[in-house]
Structure 1
Amino acid sequence: MYIEQGYKGNLGVWNFFLIPVGFMLFMVFNYFSTQMLVEEQGQSVEEIMAQMIEMMGKMPFLIVNLLTFVVGLVSIFVWVKYIHQQSITSLTTSRKKIDWKRIGFMFLFWATISVATMLLSVYSAPENFEYNLNWSKFIPLVVVSFLLFPFQTSFEEYLFRGQLLQGLGILTKTRWVPFILTSVLFGVMHAANPEVEKLGMEVMVFYIGTGLLLGAMTLMDEGLELALGFHAANNIIAALMVTSTWTAIQTDSVFLDVSQPSFGLADMLPIVIGYPIILLILAKIYKWSNWKEKLFGKVLSKEEFDNLNAS
């Protein structure tokens, strides 16, 4: 009962929304300020980012962006532990302790698939990629990626699949409302990314689809561990393997994507078909059952939850 773990605190249900709402208001401000800057300067988001990166350098630009998520994750932990007085463990999982093996397994599982699919893309269409490996830049990138990206991805997981999922579940006493709403909000949060400007709103299928995948993992497995491992692997491998001049993450990666940006039906198939297959594989490994109840069922009231724990 992951959502019900939110009852383990001293403040009302409103406390789950303070940091998420504050962050989303910041993202709305960031989106509109970016659009105003684009109109004012007559440049695209890609061009503005290119100027900033040229001025700062790729590595400093990446570090500055990731450090904001360090502050964000620490803020969530401080709020939960000292204000809400809920344990970090109960925000993370319904198990007695955080299952680090689950995080590690999911990280390796998705990292392997990501590397394999990226190498397959390079092999099948070599004209779309430039070999960009520079060891003097790549090794520091590996260190920074493994040190800082987990803060960024964990912040997003604890924000959406942690505080918001538990808060909305407790507020509505349903599982489907937080499952769907947090997935949509997760997608909307990425609306200011340069990928959306370059590829069009169709790319939101990827962001919202990924949100649904991570939400399903969390609800079916009754904890954030698998989502934490998946998200960290996804962003770290992307930063290390393939980037381009028009993505939010720009690094000295192994390959540079120089193809014409597009997002069509072929790009949607891995989401529509691949993501359900991943869930079925995980269901087999972790013996998930009762899908309808866990994804769309009712959330216990505090009294029911307390009585169940007392019995």
Structure 2
Amino acid sequence: MRRFTSPLEPSIGVRHYLLGLVAILIGVYFLGGSLMGILVSANLPAGETLDSLSNVQSLFSKNEFFSLNMIPFVLGVLTIVFCSRLIFKRSFKTFLTARPRFDFARFFFSFGLWSILMLVSFFITFIDFSHHLIWNFQCEHFFYLLLLAVILVPIQTGFEEILFRGFLLQLVGKVTQKGIYLILINGILFCALHLMNPEIATLGIPAAVYYIVSGIFTSFIAVMDDGIELSWGFHLANNLFGIIIVTNNWQVIQTDALFMDVSPPAFGWDIYVTMFLFYPLMILVFWLVYRWKNWNKVLL
């Protein structure tokens, strides 16, 4: 395999990746969590404590709470940059792509393709279930949200893609060179990161399956394409849609999006269409456009 999935430097072993993983966890959970805790404490009403507070989100506006939740991801990216220089002593770019430089054309092609497919699905949903979708546009909140999303969501999705389809993919690649194992393990790890999300608690096993399938899909295209450009573009389009176009009152972050979905929590037909039609369709399109020929990377 090329450098993206298994770095060639013999001096970089599993211990380097484990040390880097510890540093990343410290950056995200300890530093990020501590900063979030400080900001939450600073907004506590007089006489109130964190233990007595029933809902942290009530202390902030939706835009403020959205920004608060992005802090760990910002620190996560900074930690990976730190690790690439001090632990791995190599360019940060090597966690992004095996190409000489990051391919923005691939990134925006994937972003645009998934945006179109989501809009098609949303349009069909709007026609059939428009009574469950409420126009939620609030000018004073929405444009602030739009600005925050354009700045912060690329960082949030970028961190997850760099961590899973860059860093962890390379770590697993140090243990096994079998592409199918890389992809399956990465999909399971991606689901594990989201186990605390309220979607899992609300929808149960089907939601976990969706995260695993999505993790497998993004890992597959990253391995086949030797970089995270396609998976990052897809991930960014997916999260931006759920933040600025349509939201609900039970997902992990509620925002002042254009539409509010007030239907009861359910694993809808659109999720099945996504997993069993849209994902294979995107793989087919990428295969035709980028002329993938290295299928042995996945099968061997």
| Separation (CA, whole Å) in 1 of partners of 2:238 and 2:132 | 21
8 Å contact kept, 2:199–2:250: yes
Partner Cα distance (2:10, 2:81) in 1? 13
- Kindly provide the CA deviation profile for residues 104-124 of structure 1, in whole angstroms up to 9, marking residues without a partner as x: 211122122223322321222
- Tell me the distance in 2 between the aligned counterparts of 1:76 and 1:9: 20
Shift of 1:268: 2.4
Alignment check: 8 A CA contact 2:199 2:251 kept: yes
Deviation at 1:208, TM superposition (A): 0.8
The amino acid of 2:70's aligned partner reads L
Aligned residue pair count: 277
Summarize the Cα distance change of 1:230–1:192 in structure 2 as closer, same or farther, 3 Å threshold.
Answer: same
| Distance (Å, rounded) in 2 between the aligned partners of 1:265 and 1:225 | 28
Distance (Å, rounded) in 2 between the aligned partners of 1:141 and 1:198: 26
SS state at 1:243 partner: strand
- Deviation of 1:3 after TM superposition, in Å, equals 3.9
Shift in CA distance, 264/120, structure 1 to aligned 2, threshold 3 Å: closer
**Structure 1's 258 and 49: CA in aligned 2 closer, same or farther, altered over 3 A?**
farther
SS in 2 for 1:77: helix
1:96 maps to amino acid? P
Are positions 1:134 and 2:138 aligned together?
A: yes
Residue aligning to 2:25: 23
Aligned counterpart, 1:38: none
Which runs of no fewer than 5 residues in structure 2 stay unpaired?
A: 34-51
- Partner amino acid for 1:23? L
- Residue number in structure 1 paired with 2:44: none
> In the TM superposition, what whole-angstrom CA distance separates every residue of 1:79-124 from its partner, at most 9, and x where no partner exists?
0123211212222111111111111211122122223322321222
Aligned partners of 1:23 and 1:204: how far apart in 2? 22
Residue 236 of structure 1 corresponds to which residue in structure 2? 240
Equivalent-residue separation in structure 1 for 2:57 and 2:165 (angstroms): 32
Task: Please tell me whether residue 158 in structure 1 is matched to residue 162 in structure 2.
Answer: yes
RMSD (Å), alpha carbons: 2.4
What is aligned with 1:259?
263
Match in the other structure for 2:42: none
Structure 2 counterparts to residues 25-40 of structure 1, below 5 A: none
Letter in 2 for 1:179: I
> Scaled by the length of structure 1, what TM-score is found?
0.82
For 2:84, the equivalent position in structure 1 comes to 80
Query: Aligned letter for 2:8?
Result: Y
Larger CA deviation: 210-219 vs 1-10:
1-10
Segment of structure 1 superposing worse, 87-96 or 150-159: 87-96
In structure 1, give the amino acid aligned to 2:132: N
Tell me by how many angstroms 1:243 deviates.
0.7
The amino acid that maps onto 2:138 is N
TM-superposition CA deviations, 1:250-276 (whole Å, max 9, x none): 100010010011116663242023211
Deviation for aligned residue 1:4 = 5.0
Q: In 2, distance between residues paired with 1:128 and 1:285? A: 37
Q: Which residue does the alignment assign to 2:8? A: 7
**1:296 match:** 299
Matches for 1:1-311 after TM superposition, within 5 Å: 1-4=2-5, 6-8=7-9, 10-20=11-21, 23=25, 51-263=55-267, 267-291=271-295, 293-297=296-300
SS in 2 for 1:97: coil
Q: Percent identity?
A: 30
Q: Distance in 1 between matches of 2:293 and 2:214?
A: 21
Give unmatched runs, 5+ long, in structure 1: 31-47, 298-311
In structure 2, the CA distance between the partners of 1:12 and 1:267, relative to structure 1 (3 Å rule), is: closer
For 1:211 and 1:249, locate their aligned partners in 2 and report how far apart those are by CA, in whole Å.
20
CA distance in 2 between counterparts of 1:61 and 1:162 reads: 28
Provide TM-score, normalisation by structure 2: 0.85
Alpha-carbon distance between aligned partners in 2 of 1:119 and 1:155, rounded to the nearest angstrom: 30
Q: Is the 8 A contact 2:248 2:261 kept in 1?
A: yes
Counting helix residues as a fraction of each chain, which structure ranks higher? 1
8 Å CA contact 1:8–1:86 kept in 2: the answer is no
- Render the CA deviation track for 1:195-223: whole Å, top value 9, x for unaligned: 11111121112111111110111011111
CA distance in 1, matches of 2:211, 2:60: 28
